Amino acid sequence: MNSYKKLLNNSFLFAIGNFGSKIILLLLVPLYTYYLTTAEYGFVDLITTSTILLLPIVSANVFDAVLRFTMDKEESQSQVLSNSLFVAALGSIAAVSLYPLLSLLKIDQDMLNYTYVILLLQVFQNILSQFARGLGKIKVFAINGIWMTLVMSIANVILLTRYDMGIAGYLLSIVIANVASIGYLVVALKIWRFLDLSHINKPLVKTMLAYALPIIPNSIMWWLISASNRYFILGFLTASANGIYAVANKVPAILSLVTSIFTQSWQLSAIEEYESEYKSEFYSKVFSYYSSLLFLGTSSILVVLKLFMASFIAPEYYEAWQSVPFLLLGVVFSSFSAFLGTNYLAAKETRGVFRTSVYGGAASLVLNYLLIPYFGLIGAGVANMISFAIMWILRIFDTKRYIVIVMNTQIMIANLVLVGCQIGILFLNLKFESLIEMLFFALVFANNRELLSPLKGLVKSRMKK
């Protein structure tokens, strides 16, 4: 199959799972804003943010190795899964052993219990979902995304509206969704066929950990950029401000929908095409299409941003719109960074991931410390945007050792200027703001029309099939 068509085909399959799940979660935002106070929403956001940080540490990030090694013909699929689950089990036991120590801290016991359960379930859920991708079971992976989100949504509606369980109901719905996901993946993939304790061996464990462990610092740095600002907001501002910022992050989730769909399929294509003599041309063209879609997506969201916030979000959360434009550009730059980061994974040179991430993480800490006290939530959004931009620029130069990606700098700069103008217009509160925003969207579209025309042909071909 043609490399571009295969990438597009996988993207359509991932879109089925991601689009349905992300849209459902987006539709739940009004529910959360009406049934949880800004302080409560800020608190549950801190819990979910903390589990994101702890997940790669507890699991030794072995789920990243699962995808790469399952696709590698040198290792048997049974060995990869058996050894990854063995590593995850050891990490989970170590995490549980720390429970008595953490229980001594002044943390609500019920909340601590939920955090532990969610963390351990997500370790195994991630391993199984990545194993499905590695096996090429894209449909199973996509269906699992919808199934998991649907279960969580139903549980949320019931526990928040009927039983009025508040924070506990929100967290319990996450637990139920992860259990449902694990159950589905076990049955759909017939996991018992791959489990064999005799396949557990130290050499493979060492090889997988040598691949996975260097990615952990990168995950921590990524977390510092995208999530650590919650703790600065809590320290410099209030829990309510953290809840407002959590809602602000839900809007860029629309754009993240595009990036998550693409990244999942791109990782497969990037690994498969890494040995191709035409890989530079392939990577460069794909990046051009990808960047055009991201800027168009950002521009379109800015057109309807204020209307959306006024119509669907509770009034006490409305000011969240001020952080959204910068968070949207943060998604754009983080997506560019992730695209280039795939080069490290394909080359099995994961140490390079950390080298570029540490600067972004350090910049995030400094910028959050400097900007949030003076500019509030807007400062948090700007810190996020700049930090990811730094990481992306560094990776442009660092990944040239593996592959040279040619970028159209004129179109890139024009896109940034046009979107920057849209952001400025939102803060000026002009009389014909909506019309002016639509005009700039038309300019962004015109600026990217040449890059989008080949993609349009591929999409039409796929739709006919």
Average pLDDT over residues 295-312: 90
Q: What pLDDT is attached to residue 38?
A: 75
The range of the structural domain enclosing residue 300 comes to 218-465
Does the residue 149 lie in any domain?
no
In a domain, 370, yes or no: yes
Q: Output the pTM of the full model.
A: 0.71
380 located within any domain? yes
The pLDDT of residue 1: 46
* pLDDT higher than 80, residue 314: no
pLDDT of residue 14: 57
**pLDDT digit string (tens) for 365-405?**
999 999 999 999 999 999 999 999 998 998 888 877 777 77
What SS3 string covers the chain? Answer: CCHHHHHHHHHHHHHHHHHHHHHHHHHCHHHHHHHCCHHHHHHHHHHHHHHHHHHHHHCCCHHHHHHHHHHCCCCCHHHHHHHHHHHHHHHHHHHHHCHHHHCCCCCCHHHHHHHHHHHHHHHHHHHHHHHHHHHCCHHHHHHHHHHHHHHHHHHHHHHHHHCCCHHHHHHHHHHHHHHHHHHHHHHHHCHHHCCCHHHCCHHHHHHHHHHHCCHHHHHHHHHHHHCCHHHHHHHHCCHHHHHHHHHHHHCHHHHHHHHHHHHHHHHHHHHHCCCCCCHHHHHHHHHHHHHHHHHHHHHHHHHHHHHHHHHHCCHHHHHHHHCHHHHHHHHHHHHHHHHHHHHHHHCCCCHHHHHHHHHHHHHHHHHHHHHHHHHHHHHHHHHHHHHHHHHHHHHHHHHHHCCCCCCCHHHHHHHHHHHHHHHHHHHHCCCCHHHHHHHHHHHHHHHCHHHHHHHHHHHHHHHHC
Domain count, the chain: 1
- 66 within some domain: no
pLDDT at 76 over 80: no
Average pLDDT over residues 31-49: 77
Residue 4 belongs to a domain: no
Residue 128 falls inside a structural domain: no
pLDDT surpassing 90 at residue 426? yes
For residue 225, being part of any structural domain is answered with yes
Is 320 within the bounds of a domain?
yes
Predicted pLDDT of residue 443: 95
